[in-house]
């Protein structure tokens, strides 16, 4: 017997929800009797279709994992050398490049056959590895005596005419030593001094923080911790702001970052305690001096060398 209740007619499917149609089906005796003649598989398929269509009509969304929320910016890290070569940029020195990558400038120079005073040029390609150092070069070595003149025929020896002694140059004890084109050798440091007044706001922590931060006021004096020569002055190393690097001898360098104003220039020889900069906040968010000491290119804790205060 045909089913006459038009519960799921084409018109009802467009005009009413499936839930309303299902309610009408329950009130229709003809449909209920007709359903008894359907096979079990057909009834099951009809129920599944109703469930699927009901789910499609809802506004619920599947949960989405927000991976971006887990990504947080970490603390700034120092550069590590992973490339075999490096192209020199304008304003860089061999000292600043070696400082950035925590390398010994002498060994980088040896790997590239660069002699003192380690002059490099923009566009030059450096091999970024550390070669063994050759035997130490004696500085200020006396010249060899002239060779004995060869005897003339007849046995007489003619000595060369004596050279006039050079006149002594006039010197001023208070004058600043001039920057020399030769490499600065320096001498051993018998006493280190603090680079500025202020409280240590952050200490040395190895590979994470390779120096100390000293707080204070903008414009506070920054002084050289020992005699030396300025081998870098500028802003070419990211994260240090206005930076000075001073070479004290063949072993030690000191670095002064985040200055407000630099008062010395590259190649200038400075005395211990001489004012070289003014404290500031360049390259950072508050006034402080970032201070480092490097021994053979490697950072060490400055407070191991600085006097107690």
What CATH number is given to the structural domain containing 276? 2.70.70.10
Asked if 286 and 233 touch (Cβ cutoff 8 Å), the reply is: no
* pLDDT confidence bin for 280, thresholds 50/70/90: very high
Residues 253 and 296 in one domain: yes
- The answer to the question of residue 262 being in a domain is yes
Six-digit token string for 252: 């030690």
Q: From 95, 127, 159, give the residue that closes a domain.
A: 127
Categorise residue 91: left if φ over 0, alpha if ψ from -120 to 50, beta otherwise: left
Residues 289, 225: Cα–Cα separation, whole Å: 13
The answer to whether position 32 is within a domain reads yes
Q: Which residues pair with 245 in a beta bridge?
A: 232, 255
C-alpha 80: how far from chain center: 8
For residues 17-24, give the mean pLDDT: 46
Contacts made by residues 10-18, CB under 8 angstroms, sequence distance 24+: 17/57, 18/50, 18/53, 18/54, 18/57
Listed in sequence order, the residues at least 6 apart from 107 whose beta carbon sits closer than 8 Å to its beta carbon are: 130, 131, 132, 133, 297
pLDDT at 182: 59
Over its C-alpha atoms, the chain yields an Rg (Å, rounded) of: 41
Domain residues for the domain of 233 are: 200-304
Looking at the structure, do residues 29 and 95 belong to the same domain, yes or no?
no
pLDDT of residue 308: 92
Query: Quick check: is 236 in a domain?
Result: yes
212/294 same-domain check: yes
- Sequence-distant (6+) residues with CB within 8 A of 181 are 117
Number of domains observed in the structure of the chain: 3
pLDDT grade for 62, boundaries at 50, 70 and 90: very low
Does residue 170 fall inside a structural domain?
A: no
Residue 138, in any domain of the structure:
no
Judgement on whether residues 44 and 90 belong to the same structural domain of the protein = no
Residues 6+ positions from 21 with CB-CB distance below 8 Å: 7, 8, 12, 13
pLDDT for 80: 55
Long-range Cβ pairs for the range 13-19 (8 Å, 24+):
17/57, 18/50, 18/53, 18/54, 18/57, 19/54
Q: Quick check: is 245 in a domain? A: yes
d(CA 224, CA 246): 8
Q: What is the mean pLDDT of the chain?
A: 74
Q: Is residue 2 part of a domain?
A: no
Residue bearing the bigger pLDDT, 231 or 168: 231
Which regions of the chain does DSSP assign to beta strands (E)?
A: 85-87, 125-127, 200-202, 212-214, 221-223, 228-234, 242-247, 252-262, 269-270, 275-279, 289-295, 298-300
Picking from 99, 127, 155, the residue at the C-terminal end of a domain is 127
- Point out the domain boundary residue: 127, 158, 183: 127
40 and 106 together in one domain: no
Task: Indicate whether 235 belongs to any domain.
Answer: yes
Which tokens sit at 274? 């001489």
Residues 274 and 218 in one domain: yes
Cβ contact 252:217 at 8 Å: no
Claim to verify: residue 217 and residue 269 sit in the same structural domain: yes
pLDDT of residue 29: 52
Higher pLDDT, 49 or 254: 254
User: Looking at the structure, do residues 283 and 225 belong to the same domain, yes or no?
Assistant: yes
- CATH code: domain of residue 117: 3.10.350.10
User: Which two structure tokens, joined as six digits, stand for 138?
Assistant: 């004696």
Phi, psi of 64 (to 5 degrees): -120, 130
Of 303, 294, 263, the C-alpha closest to 280 is 263
Same domain, 240 and 287: yes
45 with 89, same domain?
A: no
- 158-198 tens-digit pLDDT: 555 555 554 444 433 344 444 444 578 888 999 999 999 99
């Amino acid at each position: 017997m045909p089913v006459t209740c038009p519960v799921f007619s084409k018109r009802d499917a467009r005009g009413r929800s499936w839930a309303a149609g299902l309610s009408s089906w329950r009130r229709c005796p003809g449909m209920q009797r007709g359903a008894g003649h359907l096979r079990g598989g057909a009834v099951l398929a009809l129920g599944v279709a109703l469930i699927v269509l009901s789910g499609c009509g809802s506004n619920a969304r599947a949960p989405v994992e927000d991976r971006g929320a887990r990504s947080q910016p970490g603390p700034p890290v120092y550069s590590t050398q992973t490339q075999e070569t490096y192209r020199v940029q304008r304003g860089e020195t061999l000292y600043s490049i070696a400082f950035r990558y925590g390398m010994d400038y002498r060994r980088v120079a040896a790997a590239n056959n660069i002699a003192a005073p380690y002059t490099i040029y923009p566009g030059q390609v450096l091999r970024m590895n550390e070669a063994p150092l050759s035997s130490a070069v004696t500085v200020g070595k006396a010249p060899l005596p002239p060779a004995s003149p060869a005897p003339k025929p007849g046995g007489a020896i003619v000595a060369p005419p004596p050279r006039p002694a050079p006149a002594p140059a006039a010197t001023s004890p208070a004058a600043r030593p001039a920057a020399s084109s030769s490499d600065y050798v320096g001498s051993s440091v018998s006493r280190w001094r603090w680079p500025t007044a202020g409280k240590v706001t952050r200490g040395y922590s190895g590979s994470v923080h390779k120096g100390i931060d000293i707080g204070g006021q903008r414009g506070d004096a920054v002084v050289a911790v020992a005699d030396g020569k300025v081998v870098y002055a500028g802003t070419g190393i990211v994260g240090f702001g206005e930076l000075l690097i001073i070479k004290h001898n063949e072993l030690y360098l000191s670095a002064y970052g985040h200055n407000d104003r630099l008062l010395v220039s590259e190649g200038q020889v400075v005395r211990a305690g001489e004012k070289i900069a003014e404290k500031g906040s360049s390259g950072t968010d508050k006034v402080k001096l970032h201070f480092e000491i490097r021994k053979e290119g490697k950072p060490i804790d400055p407070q191991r060398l600085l006097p107690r205060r």
